[in-house]
């Protein structure tokens, strides 16, 4: 990375870190995914129960494979051979996990987490249930404010995820949200988390890499 671009990213991430800390989060800034994995190994207690939300950041970044190799009880929703009923049961068990690992669709410069969900299991667990929530986000998830966050998650993240999931929704045809009423719509639950009210529960890892979408 160009040193001037790296300087800019570092300064912006430091501002976001300060905002998140003001909102009661524990925050780390790391350079790459290797540092993320090393940090997770240190943050997560051995023998603990760990779950995770659906996330391309976790999948593409090799985070889930890393979790599978830790000395933990992993509630692995991507384990081969699971039925829909078994996956739903894992979603329910996630509320009793010691750690819940996920990403965020957007993080504002004011330190707000913004997420859009289809089923709602991910945003529900981020709000309540698991003892600790660890959010991993690349610098591309940082936005100026809530208006930019809304634009990002509705007109960028949602259409791309709909395409990835092979949903038959209008946004797949036009690459923007049409606020449809389709049964296959994935943008059903919009959550803005302004502050983590339980001290020590929310952990955010900001990565100087473009991760997910």
> Concatenated DSSP letters for the chain?
--HHHHHHHHHHHHHHHHHHHHTT-EEEEESSHHHHHHHHHHHSPTT-EEEE---HHHHHTTHHHHHHTSSSEE--TT-TT--HHHHHHHHHHGGG-SEEEE--SEEETTS-EEEEESSSHHHHHHHSSSSEEEEEEEGGGEESSHHHHHHHIIIIIHHHHHHHTT---HHHHHSS------TT----EEEEE----STTTEEEEEESS----
Please report the DSSP string for 132-162 in residue order. EEEEEEEGGGEESSHHHHHHHIIIIIHHHHH
Scanning the structure block, which residue is given the tokens 């800019």?
8
Say if pTM beats, i.e. exceeds, 0.75.
yes
Mean pLDDT of the chain: 95
- Going from N- to C-terminal start, the domains of the chain cover 3-142+195-207
In the predicted model, residues of the chain with pLDDT beneath 50 are none
Q: Report how far residue 107's alpha carbon sits from residue 115's, in angstroms, rounded to the nearest whole number.
A: 9
Tens of pLDDT along 74-98? 999 999 999 999 999 999 999 999 9
DSSP 95: G
Residue matched to tokens 């959550």: 191
Give the fold, CATH level 3, of 3-142+195-207: Rossmann fold (3.40.50)
Summarised one tens digit per residue, pLDDT across range 45-58 is: 999 999 999 899 99
Residue 18 backbone phi and psi in degrees, to 5:
-60, -40
Residue 209 is predicted with a pLDDT of 93
Please answer whether residues 96 and 129 qualify as being in contact, where contact means their C-beta atoms are separated by less than 8 angstroms. Answer: yes
């Amino acid at each position: 990375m160009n040193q001037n671009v790296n300087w800019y990213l570092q300064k912006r991430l430091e501002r976001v870190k300060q905002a998140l800390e003001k909102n009661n989060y524990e925050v780390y800034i790391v350079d790459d995914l290797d540092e993320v994995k090393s940090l997770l190994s240190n943050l997560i207690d051995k023998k603990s129960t760990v779950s995770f939300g659906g996330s391309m950041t976790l999948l593409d970044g090799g985070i889930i494979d890393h979790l599978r190799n830790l000395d933990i009880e992993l509630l692995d929703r991507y384990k081969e051979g699971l039925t829909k009923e078994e996956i739903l049961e894992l979603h329910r068990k996630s509320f009793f996990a010691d750690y819940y690992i996920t990403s965020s669709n957007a993080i504002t410069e004011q330190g707000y987490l913004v997420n859009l969900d289809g089923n709602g299991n991910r945003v529900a667990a981020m709000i309540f249930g698991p003892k600790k929530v660890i959010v991993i986000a690349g610098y591309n998830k940082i936005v100026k404010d809530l208006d930019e966050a809304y634009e990002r998650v509705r007109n960028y993240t949602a259409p791309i995820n709909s395409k990835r999931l092979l949903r038959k929704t209008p946004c797949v045809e036009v690459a923007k949200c049409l606020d449809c009423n389709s049964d296959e719509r994935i943008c059903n639950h919009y959550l803005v988390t302004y502050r983590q009210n339980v001290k020590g529960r929310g952990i955010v890892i900001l990565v100087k890499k473009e991760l997910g979408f």
